[in-house]
Each structure stands twice: as structure tokens, then as C-alpha cells.
A = this chain, B = another copy of it.
Amino acid sequence: MAMVCLSDFEAYAKKYLPKIAWDYFAAGADDCTTRDENILAYKRIRFRPRMLRDVSVVDIRTKILGSEISFPVGIAPTGFHQLAWPDGEKSTARAARAMSTCYVASTYSTCTLEEISRAAPGGLRWFQLYIHRNRAASQQLVRRAEALGFRGLVLTADLPYTGKRRDDVRNGFRLPPHMKVKNLEGAFEVCKMRQGQTPRDLCIVAAQMSFPFAVSFWLQGDDCSEYGLPPNSLDPSVTWNDIYWLRSLTHLPIIIKGILTREDAELAVRHGVQAIIVSNHGGRQLDEGPATIDALVEVVEAVRGRVEVYVDGGIRKGSDVLKALALGAKCVFIGRPALWGLAYRGEEGLQDVLRILQDEFRLSMALAGCASVSEIGPHMVQFSKL
């Protein structure tokens, strides 16, 4: 099977991953409308290609928060890479470094931050974090990341509770026994079952709480305590003021992820973040919000250049990267395609994915008449928001 484009990796992953893992990675919330819209929205954008411009040399390098990357595509934070490849996030870190781009490691990694760092010393990495009810746990993670040389903190803002992903509920999604959310081990008191209480009891307890879907995947099965997580460890009471608290913990730049409106973009800037990732969590949180490429335009207008803006969701071709940059993104991040690459051949497979995107992006630029990233702009596309 020739691996020619990202869809080939998707087909491979769908065929060879365990169904429960494929479903987890593929899942969108509810009807998966937003997940699919992320892709469809790119197809509504038309290029205005220009001819007879010298494109013998095409410079695709760019910088994000001052660090150079080989091309404007980074690895978005996604959980549980061991579900895709035995070495998990260590492979991801190595591939990202090999391709000279940025890897945003997820809190929900199946390797520790330390393992990730050791796997690819010197690579450009950011750390994605949530704010937990137990703030000390979050603080500990921030300190560890900073000490390990992570160069940015990506605060996920769109997950006060987990979205309702029907297939995960149907599958009773849980990690296999030999995988753990290692970063959080010891960070919380273990969620202990009382004497005579079964995991099913815990489920019932959870179901009586406000958000049964939100916690369902933590509580399915009989080893939830292994995750070292109480039900609902994330804090749904977080507000913009918590940015100040986070700011007080670290000198790392703070990138806020999950912004979809001009109002929130303005608030993000005012609260001093260094960058925004326009994201809808791959369509896994609130279904029927905007496609990210549609929201990007609104956010870029609101931000007026005061901070860098990135986007994730729906990137499947090099030309999608070009469109996102034309509409104002400084860089894009890929989620599922990175997992497909891992599922194909670990580090090597992810490098293949990145290299294909890189080649396609460079070719798209050339065919659109653009010789360097700095020449990309809104004049290159015809955009009509749905």
C-alpha cells in the first residue's frame, strides 16, 4: 500500500488499530457535525493562484513564539499515544525533533514528561495542561514541564467537562491495564473504593452527579483507581482570573487553546496570554460549534496582531496549511493525522506524515505563486463563511 497522502494513513490506522482505540481517536461529540465540518470548511475556501512568479526557491520556515520550525505545522496535544504505538509519546517526540517542528505534549500522555524529554533532547516542546480541582497538582506539572525545558504552556480552555462521544460510551472506553496516565500518578490522592464497593457502584455514584458522560470514561471497568484520578478531577469553575494564577507560577509563555469567538479572543489578549490556538478540540467537545477555519478569521480580526494565532482541526493536506496561513494563522497543529502516522510505523510513520504535509505545503505555495511564508496573505484565497 503506497502512502501517498494523509488519507492513506487514516485508512491504515482504521484497519489495524483495535476498534476501541480507533473509535477513541476518531470520536467526535454527539453527531460529529463539528468534527466533520472542520474538514468540510476547508473545502469551501478557494485559492486565487498567481502565475509566473519566481518559485525556484520556496522558503517554508517560520517561527512560533520566537523559535524557528521547519514549516508551519506542529503536533497538537492528544492523549494516550501508546494506544497507537508501543513507544507512545517518546516516538512522537523523536519524530517532531527529526522534522524540526514543535510537539505539544498532552497531560494525558502515556509516558511521563521526563520520558518524553529524554527521548528527544533539545526538541522544541510545549506542555498542554488542564487546571485541576487540586491546584497543587497543576502547579506541580507546570514546575516539572518548566524544569524539563518545555518552552510553552498550552492551557486547554474548552474542557470543563468531557464532551459526549457516543462511541466511547458504547465501547466503555478505558485504557488497557498496562497503560497509565503517568503524568498524574501521585499527583492526586487515589480514588479509593470503599470496602465492599465495586467499580459499578462508582459508576452509579458518577451517574448521579451532574455530568455522567463527562466522567464515564474514567469510571468504566474495574481499574479506574489505577489512573490515580478522582472522578471529575478537572475544575469546571476555572475562569479568566486563573490565567493570572498560572502566570504567577511560571515564566513560560502561556498559549490558550480552545478559543472560537472574537469575545474570548479579546479576553485572552487582555489577560496576557502569548498566543491563541483556535480549536474546538477536534469536534470532541461542544458539537455544532464553528469549524475552526471559520472561527480563525473572526479571532484573527479581533486579535489585530497583538498575539500569535494558531489553529488546529481538519488539516489533511498541505493546501489546508496554506489556507490557514492565508487567513491569518501563524502555524497549524495536527491531531489525528499524527496518531495515524504513529499507528503506521511509530516515529518513522509520523515523520512520513509530516514530510508529506511539508512537501504538499511547499508545492501548494509554489503553485499559488508564493516563494516564502511571509508572502502568504488573505489575497490568496476567496473565503465565504458558511
With both chains docked as a complex, state the minimum distance between the C-beta of A176 and any C-beta of chain B, in angstroms.
21
Residues on B with beta carbons closer than 8 Å to the beta carbon of A135? none
Complex-state Cα separation, A236 to B366, whole angstroms: 8
B160, B164, B260: the one within 8 Å of A360 (CB)? B164
- Beyond A317-B30, A319-B287, is A211–B51 a contact (Cβ under 8 Å)? no
Flag if A49 contacts B158 (CB, 8 Å). yes
B45, B236, B289: the one within 8 Å of A288 (CB)? B45
**Nearest B-chain residue to A359, judged by Cβ:** B212
Residues on B with beta carbons closer than 8 Å to the beta carbon of A240? 52
Flag if B286 contacts A47 (CB, 8 Å). yes
Complex-state Cα separation, A139 to B263, whole angstroms: 54
Q: Which of A237-261 contact B (CB under 8 A)?
A: 237-240, 242-243, 256, 258-261
B54, B166, B289: the one within 8 Å of A4 (CB)? B166
Interface residue A210 (Cβ < 8 Å from any Cβ of B): yes
With both chains docked as a complex, state the minimum distance between the C-beta of A79 and any C-beta of chain B, in angstroms.
18
Interface residue A31 (Cβ < 8 Å from any Cβ of B): yes
Chain A 253-293 near chain B by CB (<8 Å), digits 1 or 0: 00010111101100100000000000010000111111000
Interface residue A56 (Cβ < 8 Å from any Cβ of B): yes
Chain A 205-244 near chain B by CB (<8 Å), digits 1 or 0: 0000011111000000000000000000001111110110
- Beyond A43-B33, A214-B363, A319-B30, is A236–B166 a contact (Cβ under 8 Å)? no
Per DSSP, chain A at the interface is loop
Complex-state Cα separation, A274 to B276, whole angstroms: 48
Residues on B with beta carbons closer than 8 Å to the beta carbon of A238? 52, 54
With both chains docked as a complex, state the minimum distance between the C-beta of A233 and any C-beta of chain B, in angstroms.
13
Q: Which of A53-68 contact B (CB under 8 A)?
A: 53-56, 58
Flag if A5 contacts B166 (CB, 8 Å). yes
* A: interface residue count bin: 35 or more
From A52, A242, A366, A386, name the one whose CB has the most chain B CB atoms within 10 angstroms: A52
Complex-state Cα separation, A255 to B261, whole angstroms: 38
**Nearest B-chain residue to A360, judged by Cβ:** B164
Complex-state Cα separation, A50 to B290, whole angstroms: 12
Interface residue A382 (Cβ < 8 Å from any Cβ of B): yes
From A56, A163, A290, name the one whose CB has the most chain B CB atoms within 10 angstroms: A56
Interface residue A15 (Cβ < 8 Å from any Cβ of B): no
Flag if B289 contacts A211 (CB, 8 Å). no
Q: Could you pull out 30 A-B pairs where Cβ atoms are within 8 angstroms?
A: A2-B169, A4-B166, A31-B43, A43-B288, A46-B289, A46-B386, A48-B260, A48-B290, A49-B260, A49-B261, A49-B286, A50-B264, A51-B259, A51-B260, A52-B239, A52-B264, A54-B239, A55-B237, A56-B160, A56-B237, A158-B367, A160-B366, A163-B367, A211-B363, A213-B360, A214-B363, A285-B367, A286-B319, A287-B317, A287-B319
Give the 8 A-B CB pairs with smallest separation, nearest first. A56-B237, A286-B367, A51-B157, A54-B237, A47-B289, A56-B236, A2-B170, A49-B286
